[in-house]
Structure 1
């Protein structure tokens, strides 16, 4: 969320005086917060208040309609309350009317305000489904045009993916596949791009600025250099960059000086809220004594006509060339997976993902997705080929950028072999032989 605020502050002095270069001072006396910051903090307040009212994290989740209805109601309340308290911060005319209305209704907007305020949803969501629903219920209270909803969701999805370990290619593929066509570069549009307050002409540019960046600061500078609605474009870019890179302490400290005491209090509450959510959740290799627990859970799912002893023996062999990772709260296992190091192919490192398992009482909470992303994040820099065999739900892994190999590369009738890799490695693999594909593991 702070990344969006920083983008807003840095971009505020360039909104109507574009600077089409990366060379400028990040912070000056002419910088200030605008409606982007006010509404971002209001959305954060709505999410925090909804969870506080429900009192239990167990009541929050993909299937809890009460939670989402409450977020929707509170989004209106908090945006109106905070907006009315900070009335002269650059709101658009129609949104200003919405803020002052006693009976605010959505007004079919596709303005980029839908995307500039939505970042807290991307940082709060525990699952991809929750991210998408939060985006919709918060956005539709005012910006209910399909393009407004799409702009907000694309922003939330990029933040959620970046926060959970997706690389830039995976984020690009998702945005290209579901939201916008990113067939341009920032250098290619810099001279011709003009001020535009719509989602469809702001969000793709903001996401591309992030994708081309090399650091958090470079992302902000790249976004500013595009021109256009600089504060909003940089706010969207900054939120995604925060999720991917984090924020340098010196930039964080300077940015917070632009918030008054009231707004700083909301930010500090948000920091505590995030800390509470992640408290005691760890990502680590499984302990030796935890393997039997995992084997018993796995045996219930995949006995495959084996005795429990045979199942344990087969799985113990995997531990000789792999590491079994878990997510846990204290000693309670939330999800587990084994990451195997396999024989290299075409001069590339090769890994296998196996035994993806979530105990029944923790299914549907996004733990397996988060765990897989953390494992992938550990090995992605090696430009590897990552294989898995899916016995149940290939679509789940496709959302993590795994691709189903063509039929002639499938070795097991009842299991689908999939691979995650860069496009050039995929093309090279398809030109190779099925003999290179790892056997079922």
Structure 2
């Protein structure tokens, strides 16, 4: 975990209400909440407010919250529609622009809305991370290549690749078996997934 997350945990341990623990400063816009937010896409009735609240446990700045909502919108589009990646992104961006119209920080997502990416490395700043993720998806044609492209951007390789892999896994579903075989405690991981699936079915 990064500094923003440990600071949120420390606030919780000091007695802060759980929904007031996330950092709200400009420098709290790392990609930590974006990295863990994807499971919400599988909850049919999830709302923007709920996505924002889950981000806000650790990353409560509007930029982080909007990034998480946009990422979930793209994921949900992939789960629900048979479209090209570019179309999924466009649909999600249209919804975000409409919902957050007039919000102070929306203009900072302009390159994403216009799909005008200038990605040279994998950065930990949340909006730049999201740009890198979408760039990797648009520039490749399968799960393996998308994830490897994210890794090869350098810098924050693990997080950018994980976030890229989330969408690539939904869209392509072709995770290399040899990669899966190398995951430690795979039965434990599958058990968590099963528990979450059962939770979603009850929602």
Shared fold, TM over 0.5: yes
The residue aligned with 1:266 is 192
Across the aligned residues of Structure 1 and Structure 2, the Cα RMSD in angstroms comes to 2.7
- List aligned pairs for 1:18-417, cutoff 5 A: 91-100=1-10, 101-102=12-13, 103-104=15-16, 105-108=21-24, 109-124=28-43, 126=44, 130-165=46-81, 166-174=83-91, 176-177=93-94, 178=97, 179-181=109-111, 182-184=115-117, 189-190=119-120, 193=121, 196-248=123-175, 250-251=177-178, 253-255=180-182, 257-259=183-185, 263-273=189-199, 276=201
**Number of aligned residues:** 177
| Distance apart, 1:203 and its partner CA | 0.9
Deviates more, 1:132-141 or 1:199-208: 132-141
Please, which runs of 5 or more residues in structure 2 have no aligned partner? 98-108
Please, which runs of 5 or more residues in structure 1 have no aligned partner? 1-90, 279-441
Please state which structure has a larger fraction of its residues in helix: 2
Greater RCO, CA 8 A, separation 6+? 2
CA distance in structure 2 between the partners assigned to 1:136 and 1:97 by the alignment: 18
CA distance in structure 1 between the partners assigned to 2:53 and 2:180 by the alignment: 32
CA distance in structure 2 between the partners assigned to 1:197 and 1:268 by the alignment: 30
CA distance in structure 1 between the partners assigned to 2:176 and 2:152 by the alignment: 23
Please state which structure has a larger fraction of its residues in strand: 1
TM-score normalised to the size of structure 2?
0.74
- The 3 A distance-change label for structure 1 pair 150 and 200 is same
- The 3 A distance-change label for structure 1 pair 161 and 180 is farther
